Copies of this chain bind each other. A is one copy, B any other.
Amino acid sequence: METTKKMKMMSLDQLKDKHLGEVGTIERDKYEFDLKIEILGDMIKSVRKERHLTQEQLGELIGVQKSQISKLERNTRNVTIETILKVFKALKANVKFSIEMNEGEFKVA
């Protein structure tokens, strides 16, 4: 099993944001990772913990039972984008998505 690797990093963009905002008061966390089903749940859990919420509280914010949150965090199954967005929106976390590709890497079979 893979352990949760929580990588905190500060990007240039964040530095800019920080300077634009109130000096030194805005702490911004960014978690970035290769998208895999197995990691998503861990991310939900991480952010929820950071917000000091119980599964039940998060569930209330979204409008679902705590069991639902548990399932999501435990990666018991596939998830739809909509569900992911609902959760992170409730956690007031900004979700970004990026796609990287090397030019010319591709060959049609």
Residues in chain A within 8 A of chain B (CB atoms): 1-4, 7-11, 14, 17-21, 26-37, 40, 43, 47, 50-53, 57, 61, 78-82, 84-85, 88, 91-109
Contacts and interface: CB of A to CB of B under 8 A. Distances in A.
Contacts of A81: 35, 37, 40, 78-81, 84
Nearest to A30: B100
A75 to B, nearest CB: 10
Nearest to A11: B3
Given A31-B100, A78-B80, 9 more contacts: A14-B100, A18-B104, A28-B103, A33-B98, A40-B81, A47-B99, A79-B81, A91-B106, A92-B102
B102 A28 contact: yes
A29 B92 contact: no
B80 A34 contact: no
